[in-house]
Structure 1
Amino acid sequence: MALALPDDGSMLLGNARVHRSHLVTPVGPADAEGFHRVTLDIRAGRVHAIRRYDPAAVDERIDLAGRVVFPAFVDCHTHLDKGHIWPRQPNPDGSFGAALSAVAADADARWSAADLYARMTFALRTAYAYGSKAIRTHIDSHTPQAAISWPVFETVRTEWSGRIDLQGVSLISIEEVRDEAAFTALARRVANAGGTLGAVTYMVDDLDALLDTVFRTALDHALHLDFHADESGDPNAVSLRKIAEAALRHGFDGKIMVGHCCSIASQHEDDAASTLELVRQAEISVVTLPMCNLYLQDRRSNGTTPRWRGVTLVHEMAALGIPVAIASDNTRDPFYAYGDLDMLEVYRMGTRILHLDHPVGDWPASVAGVPARMMGLDDAGFIAPGTTADFIVFKGRSFGEVMSRAESDRVVLRNGRPVSARLPDYSELDALMEV
C-alpha cells in the first residue's frame, strides 16, 4: 500500500523501526537486529522528539506498520566528473590500466565546462531521488583540467545547496607532487574553493618525501586530506602505512580519509596488524568501495576466474575503532560500468561482499553517521531531537526485507516533506554521448 504523507513538514510517524546505529540515544529496547520501535515527532521540518512506540497512545500518528526508517544517506567517495561517460568511452577489457587510459582520452577530448556540468547535475539529481543528503566527489585536477573542473564544481555546489551538501577533493597522482610549485598552486585553488587536498598514492621510490610535501602543504593551507591508496592486490603496496607514518611524523591534526586500501588484505597478518595500529594512532578514517573494487580487482585476461574480492580489512579496522565508511565510487564510467549513486544498492552489495551481517552490528552507520563525521557534517547521518527531518522510509520492515528488494518505492523525506524528485532518464544524456 502506498504511503501518503503530509507536505507541511510536520507529522507524527508511529510504529517506525530505527536502527540503534542511527540513533544518538537509544529509545526503549532493541530487537534482535538492533531496531528500536519508535514514534517520530516531526515539527517544522525538524525532529522534535523520539518516543518509544506505544500502540495504545491516542494521537494523530501515521502508522508506518513497522517500516524501517534510515537517516538520509551520506556518500563520501564518488567521482562525479567521470560519471556516465561509459556509452562514449567504454573500458575495452575491464582492467584498471585500460580504465586509466580510457578516462584520460575522454577527458582530453570531451571534458568541457558544459559537459561536466550536465553530467554532474544528472548524477546529483539521481542521488537526491534515492535519498542522499551529502556527497564528496574527487575532481581530476591535473593541468589544465583543474581550471575547468573546479569552477564547475563550485557552481554546482552552490546550485545544490540545501539539497545536497557537496564537497570536493583534488585528485592527482602522487608523482605530480614532485612539481612543488604546481602542487602549491593547486592547494591554493582547493583552499579557495573550500575543498580537500587529495592524491592517488602508490609505491614510488620517493613516496615518503612526496607525502611529506603533501602534509606540509596541507598544514600550510589548513586543508584536510583524502587519499586513494593501494588499489591493487600487491602485498608490497604499503602506501596506507606510509600515509599513517607521515601523519604521525607531522603531527597532523586535520581529518584524513583514505579510500580503497585493497592490498592490505593480501599482506601477512602481522604486517597488516601493525599497519592498522598506525592507522588507529593517526586517527585515519577508511572508506571501502566494494562494488568498484570487486569489478576491477583481480580481473584476468586469460579467461580464468578472479580469486579474491579486492576489498579491505573492514572488520579488523572496526574492531580497532578505526572509522569505516562504504561509498559508491565510480558510476557508469571506465572504472565501473554500472551503479547509479544509490547508497542502498551500495550497502546491500557491501553487506554481501564484506559479510556485514549475522550480526548486523553497527554497519548501517557506515552509509550515514560514520561518513557524516568523516566529512565534518553536524546535521547528517543520525536521527535525534533537533536534527533536520531528512529520512528514508522503506517499505521493508526488517533488514531481510529491505536488503532483498531494490525498494524503488521508498519515500524520501527532506525537511520533513516528501521529495517528489524522480530518477532522470538516461536519454537526457544522449547528446553528450555522440562520438
Structure 2
Amino acid sequence: MDLIIRRAALADSRGLVDIGMEAGRIAAIEPHLAATAREEIDANGSLVTAPFVDAHFHMDATLSYGLPRVNASGTLLEGIALWGELKPDLTQEALVGRALQYCDWAVARGLLAIRSHVDVCDPRLLAVEALVEVKRRVKPYLDLQLVAFPQDGVLRSAGAFENLKRAIAMGVDVVGGIPHFERTMADGAASVKLLCEYAAEQGLRVDMHCDESDDPMSRHIETLAAETHRLGLHGRVTGSHLTSMHSMDNYYVSKLIPLMREAGVAAIANPLINITLQGRSDTYPKRRGMTRVPELMAGGITVAFGHDCVMDPWYSLGSGDMLEVAHMGLHVAQMTGVDAMRACFDAVTKNPARILGLEDYGIEVGCNADCVVLDARDPIEAIRLRAARTAVVRRGKVVSRSPAVRATLALEGRPSEVDFRIDRR
C-alpha cells in the first residue's frame, strides 16, 4: 500500500485500528492490518479523523486586516463599509496571494475543504476571477467551493444579479444572497424568491447570509424554507448565520424549525464572529448572538460551524483552526454534555461535508484517503486542547506534519514532561 496509519483511534470509539491507503482511497480498516506500505505512521492511540471542513468563509477578504484602515467600532456594518472602501484598490495579484497563503494555513490545520463566499457586487468581478484561479491551483490538496455573494444586496446594488449570473458562468458553484441587507423586508423576501428560482433553473445549491441581525422580526429564513419547499430544492439550501433566531420568541421558533426540517434547509453558525459582532447595541443583559444550535440539532436540522473571517474588516484574529471554532461554539451554546461536545466536533467535520455535498468523505473503506492525525485520543480531548495536527493526509499522501505539544519541566519530584492529556486507561 501507499500509506498505513497504525494504531489509530476513531471518533466512533470502535477500538484501535490500522488504516491502509492505496491509489488515493482507503483500502482497508482492520485491527491488525497484515500488509506493508511505502510509508507508515504510528498513531499510538491518537485520534484519526476525516478532514476538517469550513462551511462558511470569506476568502476574498482574508488577511486584509488594516486595509485601508482598521474597523474602529468592530461592528458588522462598519466592516461592510470598510470592505466597500477597499474594493477599488483590490488587485487580482493581491487577492490570489492572500488566498493562497490562507490555504497553506488551512492545510496545516487539517482543513481540506472550504466553502467561500465571494463578493459579486464589483462589476469588474476581480475577486471572482482571483478565487476561481485559486480554486484551480489548490485543487490537488484542498476542495474550494465558491458562493456568488451579492454583499451589497442583489436588488439594492445595481447590476448585482447580472454580476451573479456572470460569476456562475465563470465557475462559481453556489448561489448566495443577503436578504436582510436589502432596503425593505419586502425586498428581502423578493430577493430570496429571485435567487432560489434562478438556482432551481440552473440546478445549483443555495447558501444565503440570512438574518444576520439582532432583530427578531428579521425572518427571511422562513421565506427561504418556504421557497426551498416550493421549488423542490430540498437538501440543497443553507441558511448561514441565522442570528436573529437568538432573539425570536420560543413560540415562533417552534413553528420555524419544523418548517426548516420539512424543506431540508441546513444551518451554519459562525461562533467566533457571531459572538463578536452581534449584541453590539445591548448594554446588559447582553445577548450571545449565535443562533439556536442545540435546538436546531434536536429538531433534525443539519448544523455546521464556520470560521467566517480571519484577519479581515470584520475580525482581527483567527488562524484557520476549526477546533478553535468548535471550542467557541461549544461554550456559546452551552453544549458541555458528552454527546453535545461530540456534536460540536461533527459540526466542523461530517456535517459541513454533508452541506457542501462532498463525495467519498469519511473514514470508511472506499472513501478518499484524506485524514488528520490529532494529538488527542477522542473528539472531546481534541476540542479541549485544540490538538496539534501531527499529520495531514490528502489522497494517501502526507501533506503536512506538526510536532505534538509537549512541555519540559524542571520540578523536583515531578515528571520531566507534560502533554496536557489525562490517561484514563
- TM interval, shorter chain, is 0.7 to 0.9
Q: 2: distance between equivalents of 1:306 and 1:136?
A: 34
Contact 1:10–1:45 at 8 Å: present in 2 too?
Answer: no
- 1:9 equivalent among 2, 7, 19: 2
What's the CA shift string for 1:180-237, capped at 9, x where partnerless? 9751452243144142111112152333333221122222222221100111221111
Q: 1: distance between equivalents of 2:274 and 2:117?
A: 16
Q: Cα 1:94–1:49, aligned 2, differ >3 Å: closer, same or farther?
A: same
- 1:299 equivalent among 261, 280, 284: 280
Per the alignment, residue 198 of structure 1 pairs with 176
Give the 5 Å matches for 1:33-432.
Answer: 36-51=15-30, 53=31, 63-88=42-67, 89-108=69-88, 110-145=89-124, 147-173=125-151, 175-177=153-155, 183-202=161-180, 204-253=185-234, 255-300=236-281, 304=283, 307-361=286-340, 362-363=342-343, 364-380=345-361, 382-408=362-388, 410-420=390-400
Q: Cα 1:374–1:275, aligned 2, differ >3 Å: closer, same or farther?
A: same
| Count of residues paired in the alignment | 394
Contact 2:132–2:172 at 8 Å: present in 1 too?
Answer: no
SS of aligned partner of 1:403: helix
Shift of 1:114: 1.3
Q: Which runs of 5+ in 1 are unaligned?
A: 1-7, 21-29, 423-435
Q: 1: distance between equivalents of 2:156 and 2:392?
A: 46
Between stretches 117-126 and 406-415, larger displacement belongs to 406-415
Q: Cα 1:97–1:47, aligned 2, differ >3 Å: closer, same or farther?
A: same
Contact 2:58–2:117 at 8 Å: present in 1 too?
Answer: yes
SS of aligned partner of 1:360: helix
Per the alignment, residue 432 of structure 1 pairs with none
TM-score, structure 2 normalization: 0.85
SS of aligned partner of 1:377: coil
Q: Which runs of 5+ in 2 are unaligned?
A: 403-425
- Give the structure, 1 or 2, with the largest relative contact order (CA under 8 Å, sep 6 or more): 1
SS of aligned partner of 2:21: strand
TM-score, structure 1 normalization: 0.83
Q: 1: distance between equivalents of 2:248 and 2:316?
A: 29
Q: Indicate the percent of aligned positions where both proteins have the same amino acid.
A: 28
What's the CA shift string for 1:64-123, capped at 9, x where partnerless? 232111111111110001111113331101112211111111122x21111211111111
What's the CA shift string for 1:285-318, capped at 9, x where partnerless? 11110001111111259xx567122111111111
Letter of the aligned partner of 1:312 in structure 2?
Answer: T
Shift of 1:158: 0.8
Contact 1:12–1:40 at 8 Å: present in 2 too?
Answer: yes
